[in-house]
């Protein structure tokens, strides 16, 4: 899939009769990495859910390749192009790592067992392919979810706190994979409390400064 530009036009979000942010406008080009920052309650996760198409904005629009993602004509195309991994890893404890990934990927881009095993090896879970996920740690749950980044072919990644519960080696590997995706023309939008100042070209959007 060819990556396209993402545009936010006067986007606003209101939750429980409280305005989290308003008049948010920006344009993201293929190859960019955007870190969404801000204090607790500023709307970081809400913004990502709006951008993923899981939550309606209270005002404004978002366009992908010039087409609104909130209208039926652009919604399906956007969902084919974006991969959303939320703060909760969405891993079912009764299923193995392999079964979870087979089920998740089947929703958009079915993969083979060999591909799943390769992805699990890349996230440091070699040997855990057939272990029920209720026996895995929180960090291993996160790694199962992040294995989707090696399996699903989407040009836009929307990631909510992807570094949570990951050790130093896992953090370094994920940073490298994110930057490689951007270098290949992909677009990454994420929230994280992990510092990214050492990575080249990462833009920062601070919702605490958005009026």
Q: Quote the pLDDT of residue 170.
A: 92
Print the domain residue range for 194: 6-209
Degrees (nearest 5) of the Cα angle 141, 30, 123?
A: 20
Rg (CA), the chain: 17
Burial class (CB in 10 A: 0-12, 13-18, 19+), 12: middle
Residue 24 lies inside a defined structural domain of this protein: yes
- Give the model confidence (pLDDT) of 18-41 as tens digits: 999 999 999 999 999 999 999 999
Decide if 136 is inside a domain. yes
The verdict on residue 31 lying in a domain is yes
Model confidence band, residue 1 (pLDDT cutoffs 50, 70, 90): confident
Token reading at 146? 């992040």
Q: Is residue 63 part of a domain?
A: yes
Note the pLDDT of residue 211.
60
| pLDDT tens profile 168-185 | 999 999 999 999 999 999
If one counts the domains in the chain, the total is: 1
118 within domain boundaries: yes
Distance CA 15, CA 197 (A): 31
Q: Which two tokens stand for residue 126?
A: 């070699």
Assess if residue 94 is contained within a domain.
yes
- pLDDT 10s digits, 142-157: 999 999 999 999 999 9
CATH of the domain at 21: 3.40.50.300
1 lies in some domain: no
Summarize pLDDT for 25-83 with one digit per residue, the tens.
999 999 999 999 999 999 999 999 999 999 999 999 999 999 999 998 899 999 999 99
Tokens 């913004």 sit on residue: 47
């Amino acid at each position: 899939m060819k990556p396209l530009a993402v545009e936010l036009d006067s986007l606003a979000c209101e939750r429980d009769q409280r305005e989290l942010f308003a008049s948010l406008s920006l344009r993201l080009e293929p190859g960019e990495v955007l870190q969404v920052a801000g204090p607790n309650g500023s709307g970081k996760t809400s913004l990502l859910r709006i951008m993923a198409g899981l939550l309606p904005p209270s005002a404004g629009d978002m366009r992908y390749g010039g087409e609104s993602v909130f209208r039926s004509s652009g919604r399906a195309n956007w969902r084919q192009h974006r991969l959303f991994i939320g703060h909760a890893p969405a891993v079912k404890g009764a299923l193995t790592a392999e079964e979870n990934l087979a089920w998740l990927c089947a929703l958009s881009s079915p993969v083979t067992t060999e591909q799943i095993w390769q992805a699990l090896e890349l996230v440091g879970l070699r040997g855990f392919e057939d272990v029920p996920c209720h026996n895995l740690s929180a960090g291993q749950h996160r790694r199962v979810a992040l294995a989707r980044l090696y399996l699903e072919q989407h040009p836009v990644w929307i990631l909510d706190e992807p570094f949570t519960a990951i050790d130093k080696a896992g953090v370094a590997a994920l940073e490298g994979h994110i930057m490689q995706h951007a270098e290949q023309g992909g677009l990454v939008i994420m929230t994280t409390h992990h510092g990214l100042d050492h990575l080249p070209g990462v833009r920062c959007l601070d919702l605490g400064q958005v009026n």
